[in-house]
């Protein structure tokens, strides 16, 4: 069995492995469950409860994926033991996904916590394997990760014993535990950072963005198909379908307009960028849920107004545009002209909320126009602005 030692950050041709791609695809099940329950809550007239549940569930999905991806970037040995432990993590993902409806509908997190604990303890065994072969500061980092993960799993199990209706006590415990989860990498790596690979991490996040956007298209397609089959309301659905497609296409274009690996020079940039993707991934997936809500409202099956249904699309779309600019794209902009399109587009998309039955289509047109403006601006001759990370593909 090979030693689990750190891979080089300058390793050439470092790309995602088939196992990592398989791992990502299994997460689609959990993302679909979260999105589906969000749709159900909003359609039934409980958007606040739905959004709160969605944010909590998506945090667990995102954080488990993040931890696996960064660990794999530094220590993937791809041997038999590593693969088996990864399969255990995938099993945890599927258990967690099965528990999503109960968590949403009844506040019963038992099955979800079991799945999450399976995922996290499997990763703990990987860190202990690193500690077995590592020396000095690297061994300390691995042990800190293992200890932090185990302690927090005890916390999540303890949360189950807090009554769901105890004046928001369980929600408060959830928030505290989530913040502690986010703190583990910072504490563990305060003396030595792990040897994650910039190209590999950039590719991993990009691939998960594609998977999330693909789930958005799939969910919207099913919603439109069911509506057409049951109601034959094609005229009402065309603006929603066309606008939704334009939004997803623009979301892909905007995200992949820059080669982010050239920005990820150290842990400080990487932590902020990586953590910020909770909002990017979550809002991208929520766009698909919003399109489903808009379809349900268009055929008269949703217990919400047209404005609320439109907001289910425009709000996550605006959040996506603004967050992609804030943590991802702005580092490649040369001047104010290139900085403004995405923030202005986010505001314009929010304004589309009040465009009635044409709101989704209008938002799609704004997103498409933003891409066109960005491409036009990127073709200007480089001015050599100090501090800018110049890319021929920036948007």
Question: Does pLDDT of 394 surpass 80?
Answer: no
Distance CA 249, CA 230 (A): 27
- 54-79 pLDDT, tens digit per residue, is 999 999 999 999 999 999 999 999 99
Both 234 and 121 in one domain: the answer is no
CB 177 within 8 A of CB 153: no
For residues 382, 388, 393, 395, the Cα torsion angle rounded to the nearest 10 degrees is -100
- Read off the tokens for 270: 């990487």
Both 211 and 328 in one domain: the answer is yes
The answer to whether residue 8 sits within a structural domain is no
Question: Does pLDDT of 18 surpass 70?
Answer: yes
Burial label for 50, CB within 10 Å (0-12, 13-18, 19+), is buried
Both 134 and 283 in one domain: the answer is no
Both 251 and 183 in one domain: the answer is no
Both 168 and 208 in one domain: the answer is no
Q: What is the mean pLDDT of residues 119-128?
A: 96
The answer to whether residue 383 sits within a structural domain is no
DSSP string, 191-253: S------HHHHHHHHHHHHHHHHHHHHHHHHHHHHHHHHHH--HHHHHHHHHHHHHHHHHHHH
Question: Does pLDDT of 165 surpass 80?
Answer: no
Which residue range(s) make up the domain with 76?
Answer: 18-188
Domain boundary among 188, 223, 254: 188
- 341-368 pLDDT, tens digit per residue, is 999 999 999 999 999 889 999 999 999 9
The answer to whether residue 331 sits within a structural domain is yes
User: Which of 183-197, 219-233, 311-325 has the least mean pLDDT?
Assistant: 219-233
Distance from the Cα of residue 324 to its chain's centroid: 12
* Count of other CB atoms within 10 angstroms of residue 371: 20
Q: What is the mean pLDDT of residues 99-124?
A: 91
User: Which of 104-108, 131-135, 244-248 has the least mean pLDDT?
Assistant: 104-108
Q: What is the mean pLDDT of residues 240-250?
A: 92
Distance CA 379, CA 395 (A): 9
Closest CA to 196 of 145, 267, 148, 129: 267
Give how many domains the chain has, as a whole number: 2
Q: What is the pLDDT of residue 279?
A: 96
Q: What is the pLDDT of residue 90?
A: 95
At 161, is the secondary structure helix, strand, or coil? Answer: coil
Q: What percent of the chain has pLDDT over 90?
A: 57
Closest CA to 275 of 174, 201, 197: 201
Closest CA to 159 of 121, 209, 103: 103
Q: What is the pLDDT of residue 388?
A: 45
- 288-347 pLDDT, tens digit per residue, is 999 999 988 888 888 889 999 999 999 999 999 999 999 988 888 878 888 899 999 999
Q: What is the pLDDT of residue 13?
A: 82
Both 173 and 270 in one domain: the answer is no
The answer to whether residue 79 sits within a structural domain is yes
- 147-157 pLDDT, tens digit per residue, is 999 999 999 99
The answer to whether residue 12 sits within a structural domain is no
- Tell which wins on pLDDT, 228 or 89: 89
Q: What is the pLDDT of residue 385?
A: 46
Q: What is the pLDDT of residue 395?
A: 54
The answer to whether residue 276 sits within a structural domain is yes
Both 210 and 343 in one domain: the answer is yes
Both 114 and 220 in one domain: the answer is no
Q: What is the pLDDT of residue 8?
A: 85
At 340, is the secondary structure helix, strand, or coil? Answer: coil
Both 182 and 202 in one domain: the answer is no
Question: Does pLDDT of 1 surpass 80?
Answer: no
Q: What is the mean pLDDT of residues 122-149?
A: 95
CB 68 within 8 A of CB 102: no
* Average pLDDT score, the chain: 88
The answer to whether residue 388 sits within a structural domain is no
Both 225 and 179 in one domain: the answer is no
The answer to whether residue 158 sits within a structural domain is yes
Closest CA to 119 of 252, 26, 199: 26
Burial of 218-232, coded b for 16+ CB within 10 Å and e otherwise, reads ebbeebbeebeeeee
Say which CATH number the domain at 306 has.
1.20.1410
Q: What is the pLDDT of residue 392?
A: 44
Domain boundary among 188, 211, 236: 188
How sure is the predictor about 121, in pLDDT bands with cuts at 50, 70 and 90? Answer: very high
Domain boundary among 153, 188, 223: 188
- Please tell me whether the overall predicted TM-score, pTM, comes out greater than 0.85 for this model: yes
Both 32 and 142 in one domain: the answer is yes
Q: What is the mean pLDDT of residues 366-384?
A: 84
Both 147 and 283 in one domain: the answer is no
């Amino acid at each position: 069995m090979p030693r689990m030692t750190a891979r080089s950050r300058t390793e050439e041709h470092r790309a995602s492995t088939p196992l990592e791609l398989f791992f990502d695809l299994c997460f689609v099940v959990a993302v679909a469950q979260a999105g589906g329950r969000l749709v159900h809550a909003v359609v039934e007239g409980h958007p606040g409860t739905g959004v709160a549940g969605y944010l909590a569930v998506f945090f667990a999905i995102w954080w488990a994926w993040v931890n696996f991806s960064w660990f794999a970037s530094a220590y993937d040995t791809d041997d038999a033991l590593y693969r088996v432990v990864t399969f255990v993590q995938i099993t945890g993902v599927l258990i967690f996904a099965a528990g999503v409806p109960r968590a949403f509908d009844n506040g019963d997190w038992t099955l979800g916590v079991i799945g999450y604990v399976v995922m996290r303890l499997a990763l703990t065994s990987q860190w202990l394997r690193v500690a077995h072969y590592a020396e000095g500061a690297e061994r300390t980092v691995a042990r800190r990760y293992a200890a932090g993960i185990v302690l927090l799993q005890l916390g999540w199990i303890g949360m189950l014993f807090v009554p769901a209706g105890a004046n928001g006590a369980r929600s408060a415990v959830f928030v505290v535990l989530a913040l502690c989860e986010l703190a583990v990498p910072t504490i563990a790596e305060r003396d030595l950072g792990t040897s994650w690979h910039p190209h590999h991490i950039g590719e991993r996040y990009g691939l998960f963005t594609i998977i999330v956007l693909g789930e958005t298209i799939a969910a919207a397609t099913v919603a439109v198909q069911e509506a057409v089959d049951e109601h034959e309301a094609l005229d009402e659905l065309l603006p929603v379908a066309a606008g939704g497609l334009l939004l997803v296409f623009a979301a892909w274009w905007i995200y992949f307009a820059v080669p982010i690996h050239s920005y990820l020079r150290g842990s400080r940039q990487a932590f902020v960028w990586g953590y910020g993707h909770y909002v990017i991934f979550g809002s991208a997936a929520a766009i698909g849920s919003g399109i489903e809500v808009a379809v349900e409202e268009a055929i008269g099956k949703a217990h919400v107004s047209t404005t609320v249904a439109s907001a289910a699309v425009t709000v996550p779309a605006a959040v996506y545009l603004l967050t992609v600019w804030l943590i991802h794209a702005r580092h490649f902009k040369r001047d104010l002209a290139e900085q403004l399109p995405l923030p202005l587009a986010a505001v314009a998309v929010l304004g589309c909320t009040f465009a009635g039955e044409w709101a989704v289509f209008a938002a799609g047109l704004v997103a498409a126009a933003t891409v066109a403006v960005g491409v036009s601006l990127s073709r200007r001759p480089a001015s050599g602005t100090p501090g800018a990370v110049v890319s021929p593909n920036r948007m």
